[in-house]
Amino acid sequence: MKELLWQSKSEPPGPDLRPVNGFAPPEDEEPCKSPDLRAFIQKLEDAGRLLRVKETVDWKLGIGRWSRARRKPLLFEKIKSYPGQQVLTNGLVDLTCLRLALGFEAATPWKEVIAEARERMETAVHPRMVRTGPVLDNVVPASVLDLLQFPVPQWSDYDTCRYLGTWHLNISKDPETGQRNAGVYRMQLLGAKRATISASKGSDLARHVVNAEARGTELPVAVAIGAPEAMVIAAGAACPAGIDEFELAGALQQKAVELIRCGNLEVPANAEIVVEGFIHPGVRVEDGPYLDYDGRPNTNPKAFLFEATRLMHRSQPIFRGCATGRPGAEDHQLFAFLAQLNLLDFHGSRIKQRFQNFFWRRRAFRTAQMVGRMGSEPHRRK
């Protein structure tokens, strides 16, 4: 029934999301069995790392302030105006959390983790296509879709408003080659169905948009929030040639990730939330100010405009996000890990990236932030 709903032809017309290039991998009847965000939260709890926040916290600044003030994974259980919903932040805030996310024992020496991760990366682990998954528990059509049904935080008082995408995947395919990409590109909420996507010029997503625009078409994009941590780690990485982010995630966690079809895209079957939609061709909007990883607010006047056309989510979804800006925050932990694996590329100046990677590898977070600020104008409060 869920699948029928999902494939319903009576939905309001969205973008054409039929498979391209005849690509239709076979689907497995077996249910999802790879680790999801909930399994990770359980691991954090079993290892004594998780702090359950029982008091009421406001999505507006409260969640961000709590997260910046503590170096522990935080599960917010009571969010103002959002009864029954939860938010996880700081999930990868230290090396032990990273070890757990990748399936290592909490006490594994870090050198061993890096050596083993390098070895794992050598062999792609192909995703498993499944017919259904927990994310299909609730399917919401465009007519009633409201992204504000989730406790999307306003992370800092520098930020203009709420950020839907801070620890997520943006999934798209190159309209020319059909090659898929998953990246982490920040998303500012603009309303019930709209958000920015702020992707750097050299990113794969920006290339996909340009190729779609050359054809005069919109670009189908899916946004997965609360996906397995290995998928976010891989999406933040510059993938080595011949392997894509889903294969890299499978390799890093040594278990195939599980995907369901979503139009012509494939999305994580066990994510908490997936938003299906498209990027408007030829439209650019302002994103920010947003307190970025370098500890300064910035704006992007040329962000893409994302329009949601369908939503799916688990029952009582756990929203996942990241409070950026603080030295050593979880995004920095991830950058340091990726730099150690030679998988970090912000697609900016080469020389700046080399310097920054040098400091990420040494976990010199403040210096990496300072290098990140070089050559960019800060946003000044009016």
Q: How far is the CB of 169 from ligand FMN (least distance, A)?
A: 9
Q: Six-digit token pair at 24?
A: 């239709």
Can you tell me which of 238, 328, 378, 379 binds ligand FMN, judged by CB under 6 A? 238
Can you tell me which of 199, 224, 329, 371 binds ligand FMN, judged by CB under 6 A? 199
| 236 in contact with ligand FMN (CB under 6 A) | yes
Can you tell me which of 237, 273, 275, 305 binds ligand FMN, judged by CB under 6 A? 237
* Residue whose CB is less far from ligand FMN, 198 or 264: 198
Reported residue count of the chain is 382
Q: Tokens 């943006």 belong to which residue?
A: 170
User: Rounded CA gap, 361 and 133, in Å?
Assistant: 37
| 263 in contact with ligand FMN (CB under 6 A) | no
Residue-by-residue DSSP string for 45-94: HHTT--EEE-S-B-TBTHHHHHHHH-SS-EEE--BTTBTT-EEEE-TTSS
Q: How far is the CB of 15 from ligand FMN (least distance, A)?
A: 21
The alpha carbon dihedral of 254, 222, 300, 215 has a sign of positive
| 186 in contact with ligand FMN (CB under 6 A) | yes
Q: 225, 184 in Cβ contact below 8 A?
A: no
Longest dimension (CA), the chain: 56
User: Rounded CA gap, 379 and 381, in Å?
Assistant: 7
Cα distance between the two ends of the chain: 53
Strand spans (E) along 204-296:
219-225, 258-262, 265-268, 273-291
Q: How far is the CB of 316 from ligand FMN (least distance, A)?
A: 24
* Residue whose CB is less far from ligand FMN, 76 or 290: 290
| 101 in contact with ligand FMN (CB under 6 A) | no
| 334 in contact with ligand FMN (CB under 6 A) | yes
Residue 82: other Cβ atoms inside 10 A: 17
Q: How far is the CB of 186 from ligand FMN (least distance, A)?
A: 3
* Residue whose CB is less far from ligand FMN, 205 or 231: 205
User: Rounded CA gap, 55 and 72, in Å?
Assistant: 16
- Helix, strand, or coil here: 258? strand
Residue range at the interface with ligand FMN (CB under 6 A); choices 41-49, 142-150, 199-207, 209-217: 199-207
Can you tell me which of 152, 322, 323, 329 binds ligand FMN, judged by CB under 6 A? 322
Can you tell me which of 86, 154, 181, 356 binds ligand FMN, judged by CB under 6 A? 181
Can you tell me which of 156, 198, 264, 270 binds ligand FMN, judged by CB under 6 A? 198
Q: How far is the CB of 170 from ligand FMN (least distance, A)?
A: 9
One symbol per residue from 340 to 369: x for binding ligand FMN (CB under 6 A), - otherwise; what is it?
-----xxx----------------------
Residue 4: other Cβ atoms inside 10 A: 7
Q: Six-digit token pair at 1?
A: 């029934």
Interface positions with ligand FMN (CB under 6 A): 167, 181, 183-186, 198-200, 203-205, 236-238, 322, 331, 334, 345-347
